[in-house]
Amino acid sequence: MPDTQAGLARARLERTEFQRIAPAVNAALLAMGKAVAESSLEPALIELVKLRASQMNGCAFCVQYHTNLARQAGVAREKLDLLPAWHDAGLYSPRERAALAWTEALTEMRTENAAAYACVADAFAAQEIVFLTAAIANINAWNRIASGLRFSPPAAV
């Protein structure tokens, strides 16, 4: 039986149902996100990282969700448009480039990530690296849940 209807993947479970069925899991993931949000990391940077990991993981819900939040955080349209090609775009600050390289290394679970870590260590304080790493781990967990259950993407804003 096909998984799609009119070319769109059908949700296996909606986010609201996930929240109802697993409130403790939902709360734990939200608490981790709140800790990151309360850190010294810039909200726009956090959203770029979450969006890039979500793109890499092919999570439609999280791509749209974090695109919306990135816009609200003031991320320039050009940065959102060129995020999949950030390596070749001259729009990103050294700090953003380091965070994006670290995001890709951790999302791909590269065991050889010394170059990415060296870049992130040059651009971030140790406490910031911990929170950046937590943000990356958190979005990867959400990607696996939202993509696996095929949460319907939210409306674009």
pLDDT tens digits for range 98-156: 999 999 999 999 889 999 999 999 999 999 999 999 999 999 999 999 999 999 999 99
Q: Is residue 48 one of the residues assigned to a domain?
A: yes
3, pLDDT greater than 80? no
Q: Is residue 100 one of the residues assigned to a domain?
A: yes
CA distance 122 to 120: 5
Is this model's pTM higher than 0.75 or not?
yes
Q: Is residue 138 one of the residues assigned to a domain?
A: yes
Q: Shortest CA distance to 134 belongs to which of 126, 144, 123, 145? A: 126
51, amino acid identity: L
Q: Is residue 29 one of the residues assigned to a domain?
A: no
What is the pLDDT at residue 80? Answer: 98
- What b/e readout covers 23-44, taking b as 16+ CB neighbours within 10 angstroms? eeeeeebeebbeebeebebeeb
Q: Is residue 156 one of the residues assigned to a domain?
A: no
* Range from 6-10, 25-29, 85-89 carrying the lowest mean pLDDT: 6-10
Token pair 């695109």: residue: 67
Q: Is residue 114 one of the residues assigned to a domain?
A: yes
**Distance between alpha carbon 112 and the CA centroid of its chain, in Å?**
21
Q: Is residue 17 one of the residues assigned to a domain?
A: no
Q: What value does the mean pLDDT of the chain take?
A: 94
Return the CATH number at 137: 1.20.1290.10
Q: Rounded to a whole number, what is the largest CA-CA distance in the chain?
A: 51
Q: Which domain holds residue 55?
A: 42-145
| Count: domains in the chain | 1
What is the pLDDT at residue 1? Answer: 42
Query: Which run of H or of E encompasses 9?
Result: strand 8-9
Query: Which run of H or of E encompasses 8?
Result: strand 8-9
Bigger pLDDT: 66 vs 111: 66
Q: Is residue 32 one of the residues assigned to a domain?
A: no
